[in-house]
Amino acid sequence: MTNLSRIFGANGPLAEALEGFRPRREQLEMAEAVSEAIDTRGSLIVEAGTGTGKTFAYLVPALLSGRQVIVSTGTRTLQDQLYHRDLPTLAGALGRPVRIALLKGRANYLCRHRLGVALAAPELAGVGAGRVRALRHIAKWAEVTRAGDVAELESVPEQDPAWALATSTRENCLGQECPQYRECHVLQARREAQAADLVIVNHHLLLADMALREEGFGEVLPGTDAVILDEAHQFPEIAAQFFGQSFGARNVLALVRDTLAELTRAGLLEAGLRARVEALEPRVGEAQRALAGLGERVEWERLPDAFLESLDELLDGLEFLHAGLADPELEVPGVRQCARRAHELATRAREIQSRAAEDGLRWAEWTPRAFALQFTPFEVAARLRDFRAARPCAWIYTSATLAVGEDFSHFAARVGEADARTRLIRSPFDYERQSRLYLPRGLPDPSDRGYTAAVIDAALPLVRAAGGRAFVLFTSHRALAEGAAALRGRLEERDRFPVLVQGDAPRDALLRRFRELGNAVLLGTGSFWEGVDVRGPALSLVVIDRLPFASPDDPLLKARLEGLRREGRNPFFEYQVPQAVLTLKQGVGRLIRDHEDTGVVLLADPRVRTKGYGRAFLASLPPMTVIDAAAEAIRFLRDSLGSLAPLETA
């Protein structure tokens, strides 16, 4: 067995090769647990506190194992970090040449066939002048690229709508019938992954691997000895979405555009077929109008008859189109695929219509531009168990937030891993010295209309003591808007602290601006609670407005809670509280990112003291010194910042 103690030791290869490396008992402990799981092909759930160095703690055993390993991440950012930085660095330090492959989702690779269709009939593909220019840039790049990764072409941003016309989806991919199949970049990437020792994917792709054989590409997973899921706290939600079903207006309108373009390119667009295709758009419009005014989410039982009738007409239209395109005289791969898509869309919608109440939750989503039907199962743990049973290998889950207190049962139940070994590895940071948890007294109940204003009043003295340098995290967009209005007027005019608000610019741009300014206050919700790493004094204060219970109107949450009720369980204590605890841990984790970081977390919600379940939240947080006096929090900030602290003013 490899001597991990030497590798992670003060005189080991990592210390020699990596600037700033420091031995950590916690990192070694995790590496040994991961190594054992790989050797025994077992299941392991490991929470690694911030600063553990969990990435190296699982990569080193993976590289040394000599086995085929898949590493799955929750975000593309971490995928790129592992592939471009961490793995080459570690392989060099360990002297272990290893074949590494980065495999992204289909939408990240150029599709030469789709690009050709769009350029051949841009007016039918709905391409305006701006997109035509972008497509020409893509076409030039297509002549020279080897990997076909859209991230290579910096002149066309990844968010540009033109990419939707130059990449494929599971629905519109022609598979082995594609005339460009031999040059397919997705196929090339998957072949490289199958030949690699270590493959980096994301959770969506890991789950989608089950469907790859149906698409004519072959699986990535056969032969794999271990699957390591980083950012594993995201996996259950992604799995719930994956095992659900959806049907929407955008799917139909994309089919309309693609069908017209494929028929035109093949010289087959005669009047009868054109009429069948173009008849779908007004039917989409009728269904869209029938849902107007009912809200963004409409439960199935509240769907009006007018919508259901329009939906049936739309599905009949899809089947009518399928029959027309299935004519043997139209034996063109692109046209055949459009025929299949029409049939699959109609079939999927009818399956959602016919779902029984005990299967899961059904609802419709509506925006002024589109509608969608959604189905999500009550629970996915059994499906995940079947998934793993078909692929017997080591399964390792890791994140900084998997346990409630010291209990992993909530996460383990959601992924169907009741028998997995668990390890809780504490952060090596000295939270008692580096931080304070400020729980202000006297704030109103979060249901009070003046609650957000009271939170801002409590936070302002600390923001001023920190000289800005703060995140203010909200649990709703409404509270975010209210808090932004209150803070902008009081901070930007008097204190000259820049106030950055989620939605004013892309997330990465806001974070970059926050780091550059050094005295900014950033307000956010949702995605700003996790995956944000700001080290040093630029972030010295984190304000959390309330305990992050998920919105009771969220359909996925409703499905989960109803499933628990049907089993005679208590959904609040068995699901809502544990989920909120894990989310709070993510938010609090934004503050201390390094051994030298210091700061204060202001948790405003009085329920953490007044409700019995509040103990579960406090017990799950790092061992921060708890205080309830603003003066003490202000003093800690000033002492920590030293010369960086602003001068006191009357």
Digit-coded pLDDT (tens) for 344-392: 999 999 999 999 887 888 999 999 999 999 998 888 898 899 888 877 8
How far apart CA 465 and CA 266 sit, in angstroms, is: 69
How far apart CA 273 and CA 335 sit, in angstroms, is: 11
Same domain, 365 and 387: no
The mean per-residue pLDDT over the stretch 5-10 comes to 94
Q: What is the pLDDT of residues 406-429, one digit of tens each?
A: 999 999 999 999 999 999 999 999
CA angle 66–72–77, rounded 5-degree value: 120
Q: What is the pLDDT of residues 48-102, one digit of tens each?
A: 999 999 999 999 999 999 999 999 999 888 898 999 999 999 999 999 888 999 9
Helices of type H across 143-248:
163-166, 185-195, 203-208, 235-242
Domain presence at residue 194: no
Domain that holds residue 25: 4-98+383-425
Q: Residues 477, 551: contact at Cβ < 8 Å? A: no
CATH code of residue 486: 3.40.50.300
Same domain, 281 and 347: yes
Domain presence at residue 213: no
Sheet with 245-248: strands ordered across:
245-248, 370-377, 360-367, 297-299
Q: Which two tokens stand for residue 144?
A: 């020279």
Our count of domains for the chain comes to 3
Domain presence at residue 497: yes
**Whether residue 514 has pLDDT greater than 90:** yes
CATH code of residue 294: 1.10.275
Same domain, 401 and 306: no
Same domain, 390 and 445: no
Same domain, 393 and 509: no
Domain presence at residue 191: no
Same domain, 359 and 414: no
Element at 374 (helix H, strand E):
strand 370-377
Same domain, 490 and 617: yes
**In terms of pLDDT, which residue wins out, 515 or 223?**
515
**Whether residue 212 has pLDDT greater than 70:** no
- Give the count of alpha carbons within 13 A of 592, CB side only: 29
- Band the pLDDT of 215: cuts 50, 70, 90: very low
**In terms of pLDDT, which residue wins out, 353 or 156?**
353
- Band the pLDDT of 130: cuts 50, 70, 90: low
Q: What is the mean pLDDT of the chain?
A: 90
3-state secondary structure (DSSP) of residue 483: helix
**Whether residue 109 has pLDDT greater than 70:** yes
Domain presence at residue 209: no
Same domain, 310 and 367: yes
**In terms of pLDDT, which residue wins out, 173 or 322?**
322
End-to-end, the C-alpha distance of the chain in Å comes to 65
Same domain, 354 and 280: yes
Domain presence at residue 104: no
Same domain, 413 and 458: no
Q: Could you give phi then psi for residue 485, rounded to 5 degrees? A: -60, -40
Same domain, 448 and 340: no
Q: Residues 411, 403: contact at Cβ < 8 Å? A: yes
Same domain, 547 and 411: no
Domain presence at residue 181: no
Domain presence at residue 524: yes
| pTM given for the model | 0.87
- The residue among 171, 212, 163 whose CA lies nearest residue 189 is 212
Provide the percentage of residues in the chain whose pLDDT is more than 70. 95
- Band the pLDDT of 216: cuts 50, 70, 90: very low
